[in-house]
């Protein structure tokens, strides 16, 4: 050990582990302590303290406030080694084994949740949730890491304080709520509140502090008769005033538009019973009700119907001395441990962390649903919406006709209920009965409702359902069905179109037909095919129009130029006139132009223009295979175009990249690209299989030289075996 200070730290950590953990491998913790201390020996935090203090404090939180096992403590000590030092994950694996390396690797990958682009946010959420499913200790470690970072946030720049506080309030606190980590959730919320709304925080904290003695005096007066009665009944108990945390009080003041004096449930008492019999909680509630007047509508029985995160307790509100309302919570010692430490308390005595019991399996089922169809990407906006929707919802309790309990978010409808029973029932949900009465599918359910779903094989999801369902399961199944239905319609419409064009011996490609599609009210070819499938567009009518155009092109005299056809012919003539010897891009305001997605030309490429119907001049690479096919039959629509001598624009280009995956590789690649001339990354899609990665990166570049320099730099990155321009 380097000196007495660190020896004392290690001794303290081991003592806490012995007190809180079932078994402790002291040699393993000692080796991790020394490894982390050595790895971070030159690192300093923003506060000026040695960086090692951070993983040490995180390990203390894991050992004391989220007590799981010695593996979690070791992972906490090592969690920043790979990210902030020269050590790699393979070094952790060699020294401490696969399990610890897996937790450290998972924690490293989800360190930065928020990036500058929505797609990266969504991908970070996917990684976070996937890590949770694989080993829930990854997320528990991240809670401890974030908690200590928030406790030391004062040393960071103002903009970083705001960003981390917002991230904590939006993501980490709701996740802690779902994990049942009440104390950590409260502290995270209060710390975030402190930096996001400092004036409101300080004012509320100062007011509550000034009234603390008055509040404590009232709680003592309230407790005395309860204590006397429980002692007479020889009940083993602990009773205490429960201080409301600042963020909760602030939210109630805001949502109810009330001043502090008007928030009635500032007074709260918790009774913890030293018993294993949950019925004793109801006995104590009866005793309290005999002393103080209960408010029936404020009674909540979370013992018979626990929350999804395992929380159990009786919540009751009674009228105390001076007519003030007091909230009372009654629970057993075991319930209290789960209420405070959530899933950690469930796992505290587990022998095998790789297998969850049924209760925990049900608890994280909402996470697993997101990965039901891993081969199909959910739009990022919808993905983010689903995460936030599922993180922090109040719950209702409803029943099937057979009495089976279903826990759903507040605001759920019969469609949500149907999907919670089975996806097939949801997909064919026709109507519903609540308490024996027919209700509309957008009816909002209440706790205690008994719901019966009526199905029909002819009923399928529609877009309106997505507007009023609230569960991720329902939304994902509805959107999946609609997407598949759209794909089926497009395929069917395309098949029908191809059969009709083949019958008429009409040779025409999508770029040529898009203008006609616009004339018939379709924005793109997908919608064109879908409308053909549904009968809104008659394929034979479109074909006749095209044949007329080919055989009898309209003259370009003013008398014949009217409507959509006239506009197109006028554009064709104008485009030819203004591009004679002049670059297309020098006349941006004169006519419509766009870049072909099949080849994505950028300045420096040899290009050519093709006049389309409805989309203006389409710019292709001269070597583009699609352009070559079109030019064979439509030579009259070809324009000679060129790049302007001065151009400050940016253009999308795709880079195909592959190689051998390693920790931190994606971060290194994105940093390299964004660091070169402030290149903007528009999207990243990387697939990893058997330690090999392959994918594409969409970037904004100024010209071919800009793109080629990026590709050259990527080829030099360790692990990258191939990097080249991608057509699309």
**Could you state, in order of their start, the residue ranges of all structural domains in the chain?**
4-196, 207-347, 365-481, 482-551, 558-639, 651-726
In this prediction, residue 129 carries a pLDDT of 56
Task: Say what percent of the chain tops pLDDT 90.
Answer: 27
- Is 3.30.70.260 the CATH number for 651-726? yes
Q: Is the pLDDT of residue 243 over 80?
A: no
Q: Which of 328, 331, 324, 319 is nearest to 291 (CA)?
A: 319
Name the token pair of 269.
């008492």
Q: What is the pLDDT of residue 2?
A: 56
DSSP secondary structure letters along 111-162: S----SSHHHHHHHHHHHHHHHHH-THHHHHHHHHHHHHHHTGGGS-HHHHH
Q: What is the mean pLDDT of residues 700-705?
A: 88
193-213 residue pLDDT tens: 999 999 999 988 888 888 888
- Which stretches does DSSP call E strand in 563-649? 593-595, 607-611, 617-621, 638-639
What is the CB neighbour count within 10 angstroms for residue 191? 24
Is CATH 3.40.50.720 the classification given to domain 4-196? no
- Give 303-317 pLDDT, tens digit per residue: 988 877 678 999 999
Class of domain 365-481: alpha beta
- For residue 108, give the nearest of 81, 87, 129, 86 by alpha carbon: 81
The least confident of 40-44, 578-582, 687-691 is 578-582
pLDDT at 720: 92
Q: How confident is the model at residue 34 (pLDDT cuts 50, 70, 90)?
A: very high
Give the pairing type, strands 405-409 and 429-434: unpaired
Instruction: Kindly give, in sequence order, each residue whose CB lies less than 8 Å from that of residue 80, ignoring residues fewer than 6 positions away.
Output: 40, 51, 54, 55
How would residue 615 be classed by pLDDT, with cut points 50, 70 and 90?
A: low
Per-residue pLDDT reduced to its tens digit, 638-679:
888 888 766 667 788 889 999 988 877 887 888 889 888 888
pLDDT tens-digit series, residues 529-540: 888 887 777 787
Q: Which residues contact 494 (CB under 8 A, 6 or more apart)?
A: 529
- Closest CA relative to residue 728, chosen from 606, 597, 596: 597
Instruction: Please state whether the predicted TM-score (pTM) of the whole model is above 0.85.
Output: no
Q: 252 pLDDT band (50/70/90 cuts)?
A: confident
What's the average model confidence in pLDDT over 677-689?
80
pLDDT of res. 31: 95
Structure tokens at 636: 């009259």
The mean pLDDT value of the chain amounts to 80
Q: What is the mean pLDDT of the segment spanning 615-633?
A: 81
- Encoding tokens for residue 710? 């990026």
Segment 74-90 mean pLDDT: 90
CA–CA gap between residue 584 and residue 439 (Å, rounded): 61
Between CA 548 and CA 613 the distance in angstroms is: 15
Closest CA to 147 of 242, 49, 79: 79
Of residues 16 and 248, the one with the higher pLDDT is 16
What is the CATH class of 207-347? alpha beta
Q: How confident is the model at residue 714 (pLDDT cuts 50, 70, 90)?
A: very high
Q: Residues with Cβ < 8 Å from 377, sequence gap 6 or more?
A: none
* Positions marked catalytic: 83-84
Q: pLDDT tens digits, residue range 459-491?
A: 889 888 988 898 878 888 898 898 888 888 889
**Hey, what are 491's tokens?**
């395929």
Under the banding of pLDDT at 50, 70 and 90, the label for residue 265 is low
Q: Which of 274-288, 444-458, 499-513, 631-645 has the highest mean pLDDT?
A: 274-288
Q: Which residue carries 């970083």 as its tokens? A: 160
């Amino acid at each position: 050990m380097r000196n007495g200070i660190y020896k004392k730290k290690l001794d303290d950590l081991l003592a806490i582990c012995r007190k809180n953990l079932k078994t402790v491998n002291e040699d393993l913790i000692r080796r991790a302590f020394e490894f982390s201390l050595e790895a971070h020996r030159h690192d300093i935090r923003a506060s000026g303290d040695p960086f090692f203090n951070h993983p040490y404090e995180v390990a203390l939180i894991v050992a004391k406030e989220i007590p799981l096992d010695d593996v979690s403590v070791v992972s906490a000590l090592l969690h920043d080694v790979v990210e902030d030092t020269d050590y790699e994950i393979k070094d952790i694996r060699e020294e401490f084994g696969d399990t610890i390396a897996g937790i450290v690797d998972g924690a490293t990958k989800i360190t930065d949740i928020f990036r500058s682009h929505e797609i990266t946010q969504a991908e970070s959420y996917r990684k976070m949730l996937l890590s949770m499913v694989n080993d829930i200790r990854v997320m528990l470690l991240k809670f401890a890491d974030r908690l200590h970072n928030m406790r030391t946030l004062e040393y960071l720049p103002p903009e970083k304080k705001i960003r981390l506080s917002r991230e904590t309030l939006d993501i980490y606190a709701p996740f802690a709520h779902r994990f049942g980590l009440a104390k950590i959730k409260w502290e995270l919320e209060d710390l975030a509140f402190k930096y996001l709304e400092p004036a409101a925080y300080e004012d509320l904290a100062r007011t509550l502090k000034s009234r603390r003695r008055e509040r404590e005096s009232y709680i003592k007066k309230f407790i005395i008769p309860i204590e006397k009665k429980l002692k007479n009944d020889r009940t083993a108990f602990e009773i205490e005033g429960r201080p409301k945390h600042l963020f909760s009080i602030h939210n109630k003041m805001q949502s109810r538009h009330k001043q502090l004096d008007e928030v009635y449930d500032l007074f709260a008492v918790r009774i913890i019973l030293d018993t294993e019999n949950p019925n004793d909680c109801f006995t104590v509630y009866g005793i309290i009700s005999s002393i103080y007047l209960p408010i029936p509508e404020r009674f909540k029985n979370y013992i018979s119907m626990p929350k999804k995160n395992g929380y159990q307790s009786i919540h009751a509100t009674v009228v105390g001395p001076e007519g003030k309302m007091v909230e009372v919570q009654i629970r057993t010692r075991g319930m209290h441990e789960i209420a405070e430490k959530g899933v950690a308390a469930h796992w505290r005595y587990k022998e095998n962390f790789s297998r969850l019991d049924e209760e925990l399996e049900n608890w994280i089922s909402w996470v697993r649903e997101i990965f039901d169809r891993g081969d199909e990407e959910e739009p990022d906006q919808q993905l983010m919406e689903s995460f936030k929707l599922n993180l922090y919802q109040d719950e209702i309790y409803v029943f099937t006709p057979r009495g089976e309990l279903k826990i759903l978010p507040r605001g759920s409808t019969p469609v949500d209920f149907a999907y919670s029973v089975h996806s097939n029932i949801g997909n064919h949900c026709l109507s519903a009965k609540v308490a024996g009465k027919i209700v509309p599918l957008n009816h909002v359910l209440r706790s205690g409702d008994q719901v019966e779903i009526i199905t029909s094989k002819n009923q399928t999801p529609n877009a309106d359902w997505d507007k009023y369902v609230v569960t991720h399961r329902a939304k994902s199944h509805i959107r999946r069905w609609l997407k598949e239905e759209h794909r089926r319609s497009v395929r069917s419409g395309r098949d029908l179109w191809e059969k009709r064009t083949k019958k008429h011996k009409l040779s025409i490609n999508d770029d040529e037909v898009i203008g006609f599609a616009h004339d018939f009210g379709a924005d793109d070819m997908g919608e064109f095919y879908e409308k053909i499938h549904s009968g809104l567009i008659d394929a034979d009518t479109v074909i006749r129009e095209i044949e007329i155009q080919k055989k009898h092109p309209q003259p370009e005299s003013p008398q014949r130029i009217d409507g959509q056809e006239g506009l197109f012919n006028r554009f064709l003539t104008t485009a030819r006139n203004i591009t004679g010897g002049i670059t297309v891009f020098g006349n941006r305001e004169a006519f419509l132009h766009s870049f072909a997605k099949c080849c994505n030309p950028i300045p420096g490429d040899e290009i050519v223009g093709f006049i389309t119907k409805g989309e203006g001049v389409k710019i292709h690479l001269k070597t583009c295979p699609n352009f070559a096919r079109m030019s064979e039959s439509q030579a009259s629509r070809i324009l000679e175009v060129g790049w302007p001598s001065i151009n400050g624009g940016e253009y999308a280009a795709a880079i195909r990249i592959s190689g051998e995956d390693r920790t931190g590789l994606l971060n290194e690649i994105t940093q390299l690209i964004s660091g070169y001339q402030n290149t903007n990354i528009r999207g990243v899609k990387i697939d990893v299989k058997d330690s090999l990665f392959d994918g594409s990166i969409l970037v904004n570049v100024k010209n071919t030289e800009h793109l080629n320099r990026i590709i050259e730099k990527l080829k030099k990155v360790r692990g990258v075996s191939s990097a080249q321009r991608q057509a699309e």
